[in-house]
Amino acid sequence: MPAVVPQEETTESIRDDQTVPIIAVGRRFHQGIELGADDAVEIMCARYTHLIGVLGSTDAGKTCLLSSLYLMATDGMLPASYQFAGSLTLQAFEDRARGLRKWEKGALPSQLVDHTVLAHPRQPSLLHLAIQEKTTNRRRVDLLLTDLPGEWTDNLVLRAAVAPSFEFLRRADGIIIVVDGKLLVSDRQFVEVQRVRQFIERLSTNVGIGRHVPFVLLVSKSDEIAMQMPAGAIELKEYIESLGYRARVVSAAAFSRTPKEVKSGTGVFEAIEILINSKSIAQDGSIHPATSPDRSFQRFKS
């Protein structure tokens, strides 16, 4: 969604009996809802911004991950060394978290948040969140997090022809692939592992994600599987590494159904921290510093 630019205001003043127009240029304001490519360019030109692709099928837990991160940040529940430093998409985060504030009889609803539905089905949306370290250097980290419908992932698994829609992720500083932990321990685990392998292969071969981009495989709903690490998750990590990428696996519980045993938000910020602290290693083995001046954002194809 493009930023709102107030209309220029025209006033008049009298100088030497002549009417001279004076133009007052208004400031740019974001509406607080999802950002688009133009907004991403504006933010990236101002400061280094980490673009993180949050990908996964319908019901995998992507939107819950984003909502949990937002609530942790705004409620002062980030790790002690970090603090919330603002967001240009507060309304968008609030829209996604609203369902979490409508619990009935103290129980989580079966559908935590609405599925992401974009106004334009061909365009991704981006959510902005800034955090700051409390250490002496007080590093500020700006994040642009993708929020794509699960159908995007499902379609890429089925058809390589939709790969151009993901090409903006070639600019990503990291990829989080959200996989439903319950599926990885169910009788569908082998089917799910093969489906995620196919998706990862598409990202590598058809989309062209560079080998310097680190991956996090986030096993969602881990509170419902006693925080065990499914064998399928380890297999997927090894597959990602076999393609030449660096990969980590994180067990996560965005909103725990057993909060006495597993704290809500477990693993959520860990996944983000892995990526923002990961150095970009090029194919030639050189290490790109975290303040690389090349902040161009490749436009996605419609």
Q: What is the pLDDT along the chain (302 residues), one digit of tens a residue?
A: 444 333 444 444 444 455 544 444 444 445 668 888 778 888 888 889 999 999 999 999 999 999 999 999 999 999 999 999 999 999 989 988 876 655 455 555 544 445 555 555 556 789 999 999 998 788 999 999 999 889 999 999 999 999 998 999 999 999 999 999 999 999 999 999 999 999 999 999 999 999 999 999 999 999 999 999 999 999 999 999 999 999 999 999 999 999 999 999 999 999 999 999 986 544 344 334 334 434 455 444 43
Helix (H, G, I), strand (E, B) or coil at 77: coil
Would residue 6 count as lying in a domain?
no
Q: How far apart are the first and last CA of the chain?
A: 15
Q: Is 244 exposed, middle or buried (0-12, 13-18, 19+ CB in 10 A)?
A: exposed
In a domain, 254, yes or no: yes
Whether residue 52 lies inside any domain: the answer is: yes
Is residue 249 domain-resident?
Answer: yes
Q: Classify residue 7: in a domain, yes or no.
A: no
pLDDT at 206: 98
Domain that holds residue 122: 31-288
CATH of the domain at 121: 3.40.50.300
Domain membership of residue 96 (yes or no) is yes
Predicted pLDDT at 179: 98
Dist CA 87 CA 110 (whole Å)? 29
**Domain count of the chain?**
1
| Residue 217: closest CA among 239, 201, 244, 242 | 239
| Distance from the Cα of residue 128 to its chain's centroid | 9
pLDDT at position 15 is 46
256, part of any domain: yes
Residue 80 CA to residue 133 CA, distance in Å, equals 9
Question: Among 240, 256, 195, 290, which Cα is nearest to 72's?
Answer: 256
How far is the C-alpha of 184 from the C-alpha of 232, rounded, in Å?
Answer: 6
- Residue 261: predicted pLDDT: 95
Residue 11 forms part of a structural domain? no
Tell me the one-letter amino acid at 141. Answer: V
Contacts with 294 (C-beta within 8 Å, 6 or more apart), sequence order: none
Query: Residue 20: what pLDDT?
Result: 47
What pLDDT, on the 0 to 100 scale, is given for residue 129?
A: 96
